[in-house]
Amino acid sequence: MDKVFIEGLEADTVIGIHDWERRIRQTLSFDIEMGFDNRVPAATDQVADTLDYDAISQRITAFVRTSEFGLVETLAERCAALVLAEFNVSWLRLKLSKPGAVRNARAVGVVIERTQEPTA
């Protein structure tokens, strides 16, 4: 399977379960790998045949900036569902990092993998 990736995508949002976290915006970082057949764009050399990672980046950033979830797990699930529903992606791995959330750690977060649900 071919993979298209977005690495280090950052977006500010309100996230966290503590009262102080609900009053500030925090910067989150996303690494996303997406399953996509690159043979067609490689053959045509046409950008219209590719997976538009700029559009995906903009969509996730806009969604994250307007969200206010308590858990990174919830935000990761919603972002994964959004990409699977709106873009021609068969599989994705999403890493969501919350820098500075735990003392003496660069970041904490989750890594999830999801696939497109088969249609009946």
**Secondary structure of the chain in HEC code, one letter for each residue:** CCEEEEEEEEEEECCCCCHHHHHCCEEEEEEEEEECCCHHHHHHCCHHHCCCHHHHHHHHHHHHHHCCCCCHHHHHHHHHHHHHHHCCCCEEEEEEEEECCCCCCCEEEEEEEEECCCCC
Residues assigned a catalytic role: 98
